[in-house]
Structure 1
Amino acid sequence: MKFYTADLCDKFPEYTQVLEPIMKSYGGAKRMMGQIVTVKLSGSNKTLIELLKSEGYGQIAVVDVDANYTAVVGDNLMKFAYENNWAGIVINGYVRDTKNTKEIDVGLFALGTCPKKTMEVCEGFLHVTVNFGGISFNEGDYLYADRDGIIVSSLPLEM
């Protein structure tokens, strides 16, 4: 489905939440839409790796690492996302290998870049509500992203 977030906001103002303008695009797909799968990380990206190695069914992983300044996703995780049919990843954190991630046809939005990867070993949490950028991201909500921004809705939106 072709969509524009601006048009969706105009047509469904009561159903759309708009993420604050904190994200930049680092993926090959400049537009993405899908249901949200939430991930809360407090260090290691092990839980995210396991998730992206599973079938994505066109969903979007929304990852909260509390804006910790280490890279959570690079080209290897983007390859997993592509191979397993994930529409995209939105990270309240940082990414690396962006020359390569921009060549992979998966959406990737993050706060910025950081060359250092996450090294801590700790478990993350799946399927929990995460909050950042003025939005609560709930498992199963719908996310739409393009050059104008990122919006979330509890209902699927069609033009």
Structure 2
Amino acid sequence: MSDSLSVVFLEGTSSEFWPAVMQIRKEVFVDEQQIDISLEFDDIDATAHHLLVLDDGRPAGVCRYFKTEEGYKMGRFAVTKSFRGQGIGNALIQASLSEIEEIAPEGTRVYLHAQKTVTGFYEEEGFVIKGGEFMEDGIIHVLMEQTL
């Protein structure tokens, strides 16, 4: 991770950084990808672990993860246009996996629903496609996972 990047960890939505998380997700998912805002923000946000990457203090990318009966689900990966291609997504995945490894036993399943167009990115981070394509919020996704 670059010296100018820092990661802020948030539990739920009560942090002073929550508005920055919401802004990035709105910009990427609602404005760019035309996902209905009512689908973007859900009840899971209140209890999920959120990560916000700052580049020299400027909000650059976000994601979240939470425990399920099947393991830990990662999602809502979003990097603003002006910061894409600079390693923000990699920093988010690596920081999330590091955090999950600290709280989950070895052998824990970590999974996500990846937009089909970015599966190569997740494969580079050790995720493997499991199963076929499906629609989620009007976008083609695939299930991807790895084991800690």
TM-score past 0.5 threshold: no
Structure with a larger share of its residues in helix: 2
Structure with a larger share of its residues in strand: 2
TM-score, normalising length: structure 2 = 0.28
